[in-house]
Amino acid sequence: MRELDFLPGWYKQSVRHRRIVLWQSGATAGIALGIFLGMLLIHHRAESAKASLASLQTGLIEGKSRLKAMDELTDRQKHWLAQERLMGKLGLQVEAARLIRALDTAMPAEVSLVGLQIDADETAKPAGHRLRVRLQGVAPTDADLANFMIRLGELPLFEQVTAGYVKEFTENGHVLRSFEVSFSMNLNPPI
């Protein structure tokens, strides 16, 4: 038996055309969705790359500041080494001149020095270079001696200022005080 087709020819074409349009619409929607997801992925990667770049730039700035600080420390170390070499060449004469100049500013006019002994302080090697100074002098009054001790203690060049002894004696009818003072002198440059 033969089948009878009551549907017009244009209807079959319309149904076939509709299927093609639906298939093309689905494919177009799938392609558009893929493009949209790809753009989202690219945007996410771009944002993470920007964040990574910002982090690297921050690290670079910190690295430059550390490098600058290290350069400054290296320059300071070179300066200190040059000073140490110069002090090694000049030796004790420069320190003795500094010591005498400082003693001259601290000593009242009434006080006289009769002896000065300068030695390297061997016990201070880990802490740096120091001189141990011991001086003997004569003062007319206890007040003059006290003023001298106070002025010595106020000078930042001298440390551990201590009195060794104070003895009274008479000379030509005048009572005088003979004394001994010791202190250490820091030879390291200030930081």
Give the pLDDT of residue 80: 84
| β 174-186/130-139 pair status | antiparallel
Q: What is the pLDDT of residue 122?
A: 60
Q: Return the domain boundaries, the chain.
A: 7-90, 91-186
Q: CB-hemisphere CA count at 13 Å for 131?
A: 21
Mean pLDDT of the 152-177 span = 86
Least confident of 25-34, 95-104, 162-171, 178-187: 95-104
CATH 3.30.1360.100 fits 91-186, yes or no: yes
Residue 113: pLDDT over 80: yes
Token reading at 173: 């009818």
The candidate with the shortest Cα–Cα distance to 179, out of 138, 118, 129, 128, is: 138
- Report residue 190: phi and psi, to 5°: -65, 150
> Strand 174-186's sheet: what is its strand order?
112-120, 130-139, 174-186, 158-171
Q: What is the mean pLDDT of the segment spanning 159-177?
A: 87
- Average pLDDT, rounded, for the chain: 84
Tokens of 45: 């990667």
Considering 23-32, 79-88, 133-142, 144-153, the range whose residues carry the highest mean pLDDT is 23-32
Chain segment 16-75, per-residue pLDDT in tens: 899 999 999 999 999 999 999 999 999 999 999 999 999 999 999 999 999 999 999 999
Name which residue leads in pLDDT, 133 or 92.
133
Amino acid 87: pLDDT: 60
Q: What is the pLDDT of residue 44?
A: 95
pLDDT at 128 > cutoff 60: no
Q: Is the pTM of this model over 0.75?
A: no
